[in-house]
Chain A
Amino acid sequence: MEHVTGEGIGARLLRKEDDRFMRGRGEYVGDIRLPGMQEVAFLRSPLAHARIKAINIPPALRDRVLVAEDLQGVAPIRADTALPGFKSSVQPILAIGKVRYVGEAVALCVAPTRAEAEDLAAEIEVDLEPLPAVHDMLQGRRPGAPLVHEQWGDNLFLTTFTDVNFEAVKEAVKVGAAVSVTRELRTARQAMCPLEGRGVVTDWNARLGQIVVYSSTQQPHIVRSGLAECLRLDEGAIRVVAPDVGGGFGYKGILLPEEVALAWATRRLGVPLRWLEDRRENLIAGADCREHHYILTAYADAQGRLLALDCEATVDSGAYSAYPFSACLEAGQIGSILPGLYDFPHYRCRTWSVATNKPPILPYRGVARTGVCFALEVTLDALARKLGIEPTELRFNSLVRPEQMPFDNIAKRHFDSGDYPEALRRAVDAIGLDKVRARQREGERDGRRIGVGFAMYAEQAGHGTSVYAAWGIPFVPGYEQCQARFTPDGALELRIGAHSHGQGLETTLSQVAHSILGVPHDRIRLIHGDTAATPYSTGTWGSRSMIMSGGAVASACEALADRVLDLGARLLQARREEVRIEDGAVVGPSGRIAVAEVARTWYRRPQDLPPDLNPGGLELTAGYKAKRDTGTFSYAAHAAVVAVDTQTGELELLDYVVVEDGGVLVNPMIVDGQILGGTAQGIGTALYEEMPYDAQGQPLASTLSDYMLPGPAEVPEVRILHMETPSPYTRFGQKGIGEGGAIAPPAAITNAVNDALKELGAELLVSPITPRRIVEAIARARPRAEAALA
């Protein structure tokens, strides 16, 4: 039934949404103006950890300020998991009793303008009794550390333990059949910085008895469920609208206390309210992510094959468990992600999710994988150096082979398809490993040192019911729906519950529909981002939309095609099996009738219809679930060449190659865009982005002059090569690829730097790699290198 027009699945179709975006005509939360709308500013905690002794509000301002005691009947945010031993946190909408991080909202202030609302906030005195802060996850793990949640008795949200036949590796070590290296690694805390920050506009619709919440979110339906739970309302009493969303990356998959507070306050005050997060709130209070610490030992056998991994991983989870993904999305997955693409027999991994006096850690593009890839791939390179072999050789020896696919790895991940060694081979060829080695032997005329590094990962995407049921977080994804409808003039409307925040779903889902129905793209309209207009969905996260919504759109279009064919056959007086859809028409042995004409007949001239028809008409909802819900595994090999100035630590990316396999690509141009954008963010993680905290728990990068993001000049030309191994489990063989670009750059670039510095004995084990850290690593290595020569 699929149409081959050159504009369906596989086409590099220009993005439909770009016409409005490129002309500055998108509609974001910040563009929404409602009559009588008031602005909100939040008074936020200046301390990381303190007891609230009093909040003094000048009486004249009292009716324009809300604090926790005002929020009668509002429940706190709870995001529990079903994992054994998980400790629950209770995140108040406005702080109660204590503040647990700098930036935690204490009071909501309402005024005609944001500036006046900030003036109000400045009039409020919060009497705080400072408490010692948990400013670091390792400090927080130690006995006797200050307690973020007193009733816990420690600071551990969760610990996990995985052991697969690990003891046996000790035998190999005893008989000298194994080589090992141990490394301590750390990734910085980061803040996600979508161009558009969070934002909420709320309104009370008395006619429908509904609170309408316009929010910059990836998951309107999940926000509605969360709001209903906190406000103790029926879900029907809340409508969530997500207009255009200017980047999400995971940050916009979170229910914010601010959303709950505004929704409640708009009903209570009876006026529309607006809060737009500013960059300072975004950086210090909102969007924390990524902070990991590892002690990792990798073992290889005498043949240079990976034999075992032994890991202790700690994640700084921040003060509260964020809704819906919980405080343990990162650490809880490390055990299953760490084995990477490799096949080895012995494994042990212990993880700690530590509560600290920092904002909650949130999922960021690549969730946990960026840190894990960094730890594993950097340690593998150290192991290869110890073995005296090329790091790529260790990988070729250890990767899961294509003939093993599908493959259940040592952590029970089910890899669906792919040829991992081939991806690495192509990356080795494209980056020109031999040429780089030759160039290194010659040395650089400018005195810099060059190095080459590789990193690989798999990106699980679209994983569904079985995975999340075991996890037990507030939602479990099940079936995905699409509502499809032919309008009376024959145009096609598609409604989905997922949301596009830069992925180009208006284009790619149109391609799916076009492939099945042949309707021209300018007659296909995607409606999404509104709980009142779309079927329920857990939303856009986990690189799932092309798999799940793509599948649902296909199901709905097939079902719709079936009805169009039924009708068309009757109108053409042909048998059902004699007709087909072709070039926007139903074609039978004796003639053709345009699909638009079929639609017009159905809606406008029912008197022309024969009797005994399916009364369901040209509008339906159909659902989809992948044949296996353990997810697709797209994967990639990244390769980087760097030049390092050993005097100043300056680093230049000379070349960057990505060999990516995302299964069948629905729109390769959009895939390239996803990879490029992700890689740019990965370069940020590798070289620039860091949110340091001092010992009092104060964030030290509160503006973009301190929190450094890569700009266009910092991102090199990235060369992308595609492989297309279909997933056996999805509708078109497609795989989720939205996040992968952001996973490997820190590992690949660090490996390249360590390759450049290997003769100096210097190694970088902390991201981001800053010029100062490079110079200091070289200085630390110097005495060792000199001692070795002496």
Chain B
Amino acid sequence: MKPAAFDYVRPATVAEALGALNGPPGAKVLAGGQTLGPMLNLRLAQPGLLVDITRIPELAAVSEDKDAVTIGATVTHAAIEDGRIPDPTGGFLSRVARGIAYRAVRTRGTIGGSLAHADPSADWLAGLTALGADALVAGPGGSRRVPVSAFVRGAMETQLAPGELLTGIRIPRFPLEARFGFHKICRKTGEFADAIAVVVAIPQQAYLAAVVGPTSGPPVLIEMRKVDWPSAAMTLEEAKGILTAADQLRNHAGDDGYARALHAAALKRAYDEAFAV
């Protein structure tokens, strides 16, 4: 199938992009196009105007300060995978990026596009939620900063209002001692996750959190019990117990033992990876 007719602009600045997005209704942002492209072809999306943001220099930029690294919305998964940008997690971002789809998709697909699309199975949704990252949003009334956990409201649903643009993602710097685990269970290489879990721990701060998904809503952030550092491996029974306490996951899986088993296995493996010696 081929797309229905649409107009196309390629602005050079965020201001121009916002101008286009706040013109006649029906405008849609095009970044890497790895999801939007097929949706256009299947005519599931029929925007009147595509606003291509991939030639806006400030959206492709990465900036650093002492607390965080801010990644422009159009930075590709491949650039992160290859370590071409500074990584405030000491390699974890690269690890998440290289599990996304296939290299061809990663070459074009962007971190901002992934987050703005908010597919519950997407790797960045869980990853950025667990890292406590912020979404940077620009709109006609100015800019704002929203924690990713609040930015994503549900499946394919974000806080972005019509006429707003996700411009970047601010990821806090983690100390060297921080530990990360990431595990995705999917039917085959590059597929969307059937279960995904991220574990982030900062032993000195006695901080331990996990994000588990996908659900029909945003990924579920679980503050876990304080444990001795470093911990022994988690058992599957422990993982199941932790997940049972998370209402949203329990409701999502319902009576589906298979879905519960996958969530638990992903959590255990992510945890074990985080604490592997």
Residues on A close to B: CB < 8 A?
113-115, 118-119, 122, 278, 280, 645, 647-650, 688, 703, 705, 708, 710-711, 713-714, 770-772, 775-776, 779
Q: B185–A278 contact, CB under 8 A?
A: no
A645 to B185, CA, bound (A): 12
Query: Within residues 230 to 266 of chain B, which ones have a CB less than 8 A from any CB in chain A?
Result: 236, 257-258, 261-262, 264-265
Is B66 an interface residue when CB atoms closer than 8 A count as contact?
no
A264 to B144, CA, bound (A): 61
Residues on B close to A: CB < 8 A?
1-5, 38, 42-43, 185, 187-192, 194, 236, 257-258, 261-262, 264-265
Most chain A C-beta atoms within 10 Å of own C-beta, residue among B5, B258, B265: B258
Contact of B188 among A114, A115, A708, A772 (CB under 8 A): A708
Q: A647–B187 contact, CB under 8 A?
A: no
Contact of B42 among A115, A122, A703, A711 (CB under 8 A): A703
Residues of A within 8 A of B236 (CB): 647
Q: B2–A772 contact, CB under 8 A?
A: no
A714 to B261, CA, bound (A): 22
Residues of A within 8 A of B187 (CB): 688, 708, 770-771
Q: B261–A711 contact, CB under 8 A?
A: no
B256's closest neighbor in chain A, by CB? Answer: A772
Residues of A within 8 A of B194 (CB): 771
Q: B4–A115 contact, CB under 8 A?
A: yes
Contact of A775 among B3, B191, B261 (CB under 8 A): B261
Q: A775–B188 contact, CB under 8 A?
A: no
Also in contact, A649 and B2, with CB within 8 A (given A708-B187, A711-B189)? no
Q: B258–A776 contact, CB under 8 A?
A: yes
For the complex of A and B, 6 pairs with smallest distance between CB atoms = A115-B2, A713-B189, A648-B265, A775-B258, A114-B2, A772-B258
Most chain A C-beta atoms within 10 Å of own C-beta, residue among B2, B38, B42, B192: B2
30 A–B pairs (Cβ distance < 8 Å), ordered by A: A113-B2, A114-B2, A115-B2, A118-B1, A118-B4, A119-B5, A122-B4, A280-B1, A280-B42, A647-B261, A647-B264, A647-B265, A648-B261, A648-B262, A648-B265, A649-B261, A688-B187, A705-B192, A708-B187, A711-B188, A713-B188, A713-B190, A714-B188, A714-B189, A771-B194, A771-B258, A772-B258, A775-B257, A775-B258, A775-B261
Residues of B within 8 A of A708 (CB): 187-188, 191
Residues of B within 8 A of A647 (CB): 236, 261, 264-265
Q: A115-B3, A647-B236, A711-B188 are in contact. List 16 more A-B contacts (CB 8 A).
A: A113-B2, A114-B2, A118-B2, A280-B1, A647-B261, A647-B264, A649-B258, A649-B261, A688-B187, A703-B42, A708-B187, A710-B188, A711-B190, A713-B188, A713-B190, A775-B257
CB distance from B79 to the nearest CB of A (A): 23
A113 to B3, CA, bound (A): 11
Residues of B within 8 A of A713 (CB): 188-190
CB distance from B27 to the nearest CB of A (A): 20
Residues of A within 8 A of B2 (CB): 113-115, 118
A660 to B102, CA, bound (A): 34
A11 to B185, CA, bound (A): 44
Residues of A within 8 A of B265 (CB): 645, 647-648
A711 to B192, CA, bound (A): 14
Residues of B within 8 A of A650 (CB): 185
Interface of B is mostly: loop
A650 to B191, CA, bound (A): 14
A113 to B265, CA, bound (A): 49
CB distance from B42 to the nearest CB of A (A): 7
B43's closest neighbor in chain A, by CB? Answer: A118
CB distance from B188 to the nearest CB of A (A): 5
Residues of B within 8 A of A119 (CB): 4-5
A773's closest neighbor in chain B, by CB? Answer: B258
Q: B185–A648 contact, CB under 8 A?
A: yes
Residues of A within 8 A of B185 (CB): 648, 650
A772 to B190, CA, bound (A): 19
A645 to B236, CA, bound (A): 13
B3's closest neighbor in chain A, by CB? Answer: A115
A712's closest neighbor in chain B, by CB? Answer: B189
Residues of B within 8 A of A779 (CB): 257
Residues of B within 8 A of A648 (CB): 185, 261-262, 265
Also in contact, A703 and B38, with CB within 8 A (given A647-B265, A711-B188, A771-B187)? yes
A710 to B190, CA, bound (A): 11
Residues of A within 8 A of B189 (CB): 711, 713-714
A443 to B194, CA, bound (A): 28
Residues of A within 8 A of B192 (CB): 705
A714 to B187, CA, bound (A): 10
CB distance from B55 to the nearest CB of A (A): 24
CB distance from B36 to the nearest CB of A (A): 14
Residues of B within 8 A of A770 (CB): 187
A648 to B43, CA, bound (A): 36
A113 to B1, CA, bound (A): 11
Q: B1–A278 contact, CB under 8 A?
A: yes
A118 to B258, CA, bound (A): 41
B264's closest neighbor in chain A, by CB? Answer: A647
Residues of A within 8 A of B261 (CB): 647-649, 775
Residues of B within 8 A of A703 (CB): 38, 42
Most chain B C-beta atoms within 10 Å of own C-beta, residue among A280, A710, A775, A779: A775
Residues of B within 8 A of A278 (CB): 1
Residues of B within 8 A of A714 (CB): 188-189
A721 to B49, CA, bound (A): 58
A688 to B186, CA, bound (A): 12
A776 to B255, CA, bound (A): 12
Residues of A within 8 A of B3 (CB): 115
CB distance from B201 to the nearest CB of A (A): 23
CB distance from B246 to the nearest CB of A (A): 19
A702's closest neighbor in chain B, by CB? Answer: B42
Most chain B C-beta atoms within 10 Å of own C-beta, residue among A645, A647, A688, A713: A647
A174 to B148, CA, bound (A): 72
Residues of B within 8 A of A772 (CB): 258
Residues of A within 8 A of B43 (CB): 118
A776 to B261, CA, bound (A): 11
A708 to B187, CA, bound (A): 9
A650's closest neighbor in chain B, by CB? Answer: B185
Q: B5–A115 contact, CB under 8 A?
A: yes
A232 to B267, CA, bound (A): 66
A772's closest neighbor in chain B, by CB? Answer: B258
A280 to B258, CA, bound (A): 30
Residues of B within 8 A of A771 (CB): 187, 194, 258, 262
A776 to B190, CA, bound (A): 25
A431 to B214, CA, bound (A): 39
CB distance from A783 to the nearest CB of B (A): 14
A450 to B264, CA, bound (A): 22
Residues of B within 8 A of A645 (CB): 265
A118 to B4, CA, bound (A): 8
A414 to B277, CA, bound (A): 63
CB distance from B161 to the nearest CB of A (A): 29
